[in-house]
Amino acid sequence: MNTTSNGAAAGAAAQPRTWTCPFCSLLCDGFALEGGASLRLRGSDCPRARAGLAAFDDIGAPRASVDGAACDLDAALDAAADRLGAARLPLFGGLATDVQGMRTLYRLANVGGAILDHAHGEAMMPALRMLQDRGQMFTTLAEIRNRADLIVCIGTDAVSSHPEFFRRCAPAASQASACRVVFLAAGEGTPTAADIPWASAVEALRPPADVFDTVAMLAALVDGRRIDDADGELAALAEAMRSARYCVLVWEPARLPPQGALVGESLLRLLMNLNRKTRAGAFTLGGNDGAQTANGAMSWLSGLPLRSRVGPQGVDHDPLQYATGRLLDERAVDLLLWVASFTPELAPPATALPRIVLGHPALAAACAQPGTIFIPVATPGINADGHLLRADSVVSLPLHAVRDDGLPTVAEVAHALVTRLTVDAAAKEGVQ
Amino acid sequence: MTTIRLKGGRIVDPANGVDGEIRDLGIRDGRIVALHPGDKVDTEYDLAGCVVMAGGIDLHTHIGGGKVNLARMMLPEDHRLNRPRDSLLELASNGCCTPGTLETGYRYAQMGYTAAFEPAMLAANARQAHMEMGDTPILDHGAYVMLGNEELFLEMLARGEDPQRIRDYVGWAIGASKAMGVKVVNPGGISAFKFNQRKLDVDEDHVHWRVTPRQVVHSLARALSELGVPHPLHIHASNLGIPGNIDSTLATIDALEGLPGHLTHIQFHSYGKEGPKKFSSAARQLVERVNAAPNVSIDVGQIIFGQTVTASGDTMRQFANADLGSPRKYVGGDIECDAGCGVVPFRYREQSYVNALQWAIGLEIFLLMDDPWRVVLTTDHPNGGPFTSYPHLIKLLMDKSFRDEQLARLHPDVAAIADLREIRRELSLYEIAIMTRAAPARLLGLADRGQLGIGAAADIAVYREDADREAMFATPEYVFKDGRLVARRGRIQAVPVGGTHFVEADYDPAIEKTVEAWADRHASISYRHMKIGTDELCSCSNGGALLACKVHGRGRTL
């Protein structure tokens, strides 16, 4: 598998080059990157990408550490294998990695058994449980770009977590289109017409009810049911949705209150009804930090999505029990292996349990503690090649190293641990 | 250099006209070789009482890609049962109608299959399809890219583009997605549904592009023929599942105008509308037509009673059937101005008139076809039923009394009137070997697979002779992949990474400008990412062998 790219020497990196951004699940591939030691984005002012890139400015020569003491990679791997081998039930959390990282972590999980959850597991579950209970009707970026005449963002401004979202939805300049964007129950400070210049109108509706009641009301109105005290704006929106040729509902499970899956289910019912007469689809914002990738790869390898336990007894999936916070609070696991290869924002949760962190180099200081092993790893799209799945779970894109920091990939570290653990197991059984 | 002798097995190798001859088979370095009785070998297997066939090849099975993965996530209930691991080589993976990729590889290999082809790879999702197939151990694999609903193609067709340009575009699309062939699903209909069209007959206009399914089918079939792609256009015809759709199926065959075409899961397209329930078998009409059309091959898409899930690119038809879901869930998506997907869980019931008749229609098609080389055994996994039911299906085809027993359990009206009652034919091992390995290999242009001749790849399944054909085909005695023992009596012995079959066709690269201009206006990714390079394929498919098939137009394969 591709690892760090030697071809991406610092000298060659001075020219701007096309780049695929790993810092949110839209995987923008239309911008350029400039510079070697300090990476600069060209063609976008995306704050997520800028912050992601800035975190590589002063990484120095990152070193592994065991219990706060710096050591070489092999010593850290030996110590990590020892602790992992001694654990009865580890949790593989974070999982901010690429496809090859997940493939190898899955192999590692199979060595002694593990539970797998992503750092954004809590935010992913409403969409996953909706899928498991009812299904989904989705659309993708190119469909929105070419077809949408009404985009309704429900409970989200879309751009806080995915700053380029509306630019990615923009029809080609040469194309005549009239698309209205409506923010519904999305709070204050939503984008305006100036922020979405291609839209024929941009409006924000702030009905008095909470998001559950608002969506329920909207669904009833779309369904054509008569509601005596219906909110006038909401009724007009429902009518607009019914007469749109292709309406897109944008929602973001991470922004919903507890039981957010119920909002998702209402939206799906609404979409199913809407699609009996006209066309519509949902776009789910989420899946940052490799969440879409980790869930996708886990599902195809094992047959079940994240929040599953893997071991000799097979795979067991439980979206409620196998949650990182709960497992750590209840001490239901006895070790945390935390993977965060994209940004230092994804620090491992505090816990008294032993921790092994495969992390962004800038997490070194936060992980220099007794009981914690830190192994700095490469980031796909910065100093390693890799593949990530986009938010819509349809498109996946290759990412390429733009420089070489001499860091191992998550897959290489996981592979080294698999090798150590399987050799240890064989030695214990007296196998040569 | 490892040399193996398979001693004294009964060889059934239709590709070489061998039917039951008892003799040895030699293997060296993954290939079948001629061995003299005195030659030293590393390992010898005594195959007395065993039948030896080439490894099975499934040319239509949904094993990888976005909609399969959505079906996995959607149906945790399909994955609650964990089959006990009987080999430390197996990693945890489970599921029946939508198994994980690991489980898929293990179960196919345990049944004596050594290759499987994903029939519905979206260009937009091609990387993921190759990743999933790369994570399907043991099996070689490949995929057909779905064309005929992407807006660029429809736009080219609508403006009357020169067929040579269409040919170049198809060649480009195959190369860009690293496909083994091309599939068209509800020709034009997936796109039409995005424009809110709910029905599209063979000679009906797409509401926006004003082209017909007939034009779509013909132009794709012509392009493939001119490019020299071995596998004929793989066609999921219009009007899937609709009573009376035999008319559009026959019209689709007409649309080929003699060009090669493979009509897939034909059972779902062979319905009449006779009788009190306005739903009847059109198997005889279909077979009569296919028997007389040597350019046409089919696979059946047999239904199997029980729980499964239907996963299809045909959003138009899947949305129409969403209310029939059991359990009641639905996934549908419009995808990238390229294609779509619809997933509906489904339970085929013996006491349902419709399901019982579907079952009978599938078997009638198998049994009425004159030429076994043009009919391939499939359940359209998982749409008609999971691939693990193949041994059961083989028994239905080989054993008239077993078939009658099953028929008697079905909805009484079907049991009483089905044509199937009168069909006495029982397929032979030779015919089964054609339908499960020799014919699919030939239809895919795999010269060294699906056969046991000298020089062929040593993909071999060894079955212990058993009058109960289901038991016989469920658990082969030995399975070899490229000469390596991968399964023994159902127990996995090795888990090599399978290879990827794909076609490299010649086309005029000038077409890339057209695609790039389209991408700038319409796509959501940059043009440079619309092509998967060979190195990238290697990493997607997990480092397996790249089995490129170079073709040079007009049917010449080198």
Which residues in chain A have Cβ-Cβ distances shorter than 8 Å to B520?
A: 172
* pLDDT value of residue A11: 41
A238: closest CA among A206, A211, A208, A270? A270
Say whether residue A170 is in contact with chain B using an 8 A CB cutoff.
no
Q: What are phi and psi of B419, to 5 degrees?
A: -55, -30
Say whether residue A273 is in contact with chain B using an 8 A CB cutoff.
no
* pLDDT value of residue A228: 86
Assign B81 a pLDDT band (cuts: 50, 70, 90): confident
* pLDDT value of residue A431: 54
Separation between Cα atoms, residue B77 and residue B66, nearest integer Å: 19
**Nearest-CA distance from A172 to chain B in Å?**
5
Beta carbons of B359 and B305 less than 8 angstroms apart: yes
Which residues in chain B have Cβ-Cβ distances shorter than 8 Å to A300?
A: 64, 68-69, 72, 100-101, 131-132, 135
Assign A428 a pLDDT band (cuts: 50, 70, 90): confident
Up-side HSE of residue B349: CA atoms within 13 Å toward CB?
11
With b for 16 or more beta-carbon neighbours within 10 A and e for fewer, the B479-507 pattern comes to: bbbbbbbbbbebebbbbbbbbbbbbebeb
Please say if the pLDDT value at position A361 is more than 60: yes
**Nearest-CA distance from A206 to chain B in Å?**
29
In the block, residue with structure tokens 């009484």: B412
Assign B183 a pLDDT band (cuts: 50, 70, 90): very high
Assign A430 a pLDDT band (cuts: 50, 70, 90): low
**Nearest-CA distance from A245 to chain B in Å?**
8
Domains and CATH numbers, chain A: 6-53 (no CATH), 61-120+289-431 (3.40.50.740), 125-284 (3.40.228.10)
* pLDDT value of residue B554: 58
Assign A432 a pLDDT band (cuts: 50, 70, 90): very low
Radius of gyration of chain A from Cα atoms?
Answer: 23
Separation between Cα atoms, residue B66 and residue B150, nearest integer Å: 17
* pLDDT value of residue A6: 40
* pLDDT value of residue A277: 96
pLDDT in tens, A191-209: 999 999 999 999 999 999 9
pTM above 0.90, yes or no: yes
- Compare CB distances from B132 to A133, A300, A398 and report the shortest one's residue: A300
- Compare CB distances from B521 to A175, A279, A281 and report the shortest one's residue: A175
Say whether residue A172 is in contact with chain B using an 8 A CB cutoff.
yes
**Nearest-CA distance from A368 to chain B in Å?**
34
Assign B556 a pLDDT band (cuts: 50, 70, 90): very low
Which residues in chain A have Cβ-Cβ distances shorter than 8 Å to B530?
A: none
Say whether residue B24 is in contact with chain A using an 8 A CB cutoff.
no
pLDDT in tens, A176-185: 679 999 999 9
In chain A, which residue's Cα lies nearest the Cα of B96?
Answer: A303
pLDDT in tens, B432-473: 999 999 999 999 999 999 999 999 999 999 999 999 999 999
Say whether residue A74 is in contact with chain B using an 8 A CB cutoff.
no
Say whether residue A425 is in contact with chain B using an 8 A CB cutoff.
no
Which residues in chain B have Cβ-Cβ distances shorter than 8 Å to A174?
A: 521
In the block, residue with structure tokens 């965060």: A340
* pLDDT value of residue B448: 97
* pLDDT value of residue B85: 78
Residue B46 three-state SS = strand
Please provide the average confidence, as pLDDT, over all residues in chain A.
93
Task: Determine, for residues A245 and B196 on separate chains, whether the beta-carbon distance falls below 8 Å.
Answer: yes
Mean pLDDT of A374-385: 98
pLDDT in tens, B397-430: 999 999 999 999 999 999 999 999 999 999 999 9
Say whether residue B101 is in contact with chain A using an 8 A CB cutoff.
yes
* pLDDT value of residue B65: 94
Q: Suggest the residue from A28, A132, A270, A300 to mutate for an interface test with chain B (most B CBs closer than 10 A).
A: A300
Mean pLDDT of B493-522: 97
Please provide the average confidence, as pLDDT, over all residues in chain B.
96
Task: Determine, for residues A317 and B91 on separate chains, whether the beta-carbon distance falls below 8 Å.
Answer: no
What is the bridge-based pairing of β-strands B491-492 and B140-146?
Answer: unpaired
Q: Taking CB atoms and an 8 Å cut-off, how many pairs form between chains A and B? A: 203
pLDDT in tens, A302-352: 999 999 999 888 999 999 999 999 999 999 999 999 999 999 999 999 999
DSSP H helical ranges for B308-450: 315-320, 353-368, 390-398, 400-408, 412-417, 429-433, 439-444
* pLDDT value of residue A16: 73
ipTM of the complex: 0.97
In chain A, which residue's Cα lies nearest the Cα of B86?
Answer: A312
Please say if the pLDDT value at position B371 is more than 70: yes
Mean pLDDT of A100-112: 97
* pLDDT value of residue A194: 96
| HEC assignment per residue over A146-183 | HHCCEEEEECCCCCCCCCCHHHHHCCCCCCCCCCEEEE
Please say if the pLDDT value at position B88 is more than 60: yes
**Nearest-CA distance from A163 to chain B in Å?**
16
Assign B558 a pLDDT band (cuts: 50, 70, 90): very low
- Compare CB distances from A132 to B66, B74, B95 and report the shortest one's residue: B74
Separation between Cα atoms, residue A338 and residue A96, nearest integer Å: 9
Separation between Cα atoms, residue A117 and residue A30, nearest integer Å: 31
Assign A58 a pLDDT band (cuts: 50, 70, 90): confident
B501: closest CA among B100, B30, B115, B64? B115
In the block, residue with structure tokens 């795999």: B446
Assign A102 a pLDDT band (cuts: 50, 70, 90): very high
* pLDDT value of residue A41: 95
Assign A63 a pLDDT band (cuts: 50, 70, 90): very high
**Nearest-CA distance from B128 to chain A in Å?**
7
pLDDT in tens, B256-274: 999 999 999 999 999 999 9
Which tokens belong to A105?
Answer: 């972590």
Which residues in chain B have Cβ-Cβ distances shorter than 8 Å to A110?
A: 91-92
